[in-house]
Amino acid sequence: MIEKSHFGVLKLYRDCLRLADYISTQGGSRRVLREQVRQAFKKNKEESDPVKIEEQKEAAVRGLSNYMFHEAQRMAKEEVQKGNDNFDG
């Protein structure tokens, strides 16, 4: 029987791959980014300690959250700059 936590890890893996795809549309290398995600998950696939698994999941979620936070800040700055350009013109 597959453990419930397995589905959480699988969802996180897919979310990380989707984020890699998104980042690549912004100028990154899709193949390289996806391979980095794969390698990180593959490196830890044999981990059986629930505490360590949870720590690794939390670290991945923090990474996704940090990226989304910085991306939102970047987009907000661009919008402010557009507004300033329109105001000056």
Q: Which amino acid is at 51?
A: V
Q: What is the tens place of the pLDDT at every residue in 6-56? A: 778 888 889 888 888 887 787 667 888 888 888 888 988 888 888 988 888
The sign of the torsion formed by the CA atoms of 16, 22, 26, 30 equals: positive
Please state the pTM of the whole predicted model: 0.62
Domain locations in the chain as residue ranges: 4-88
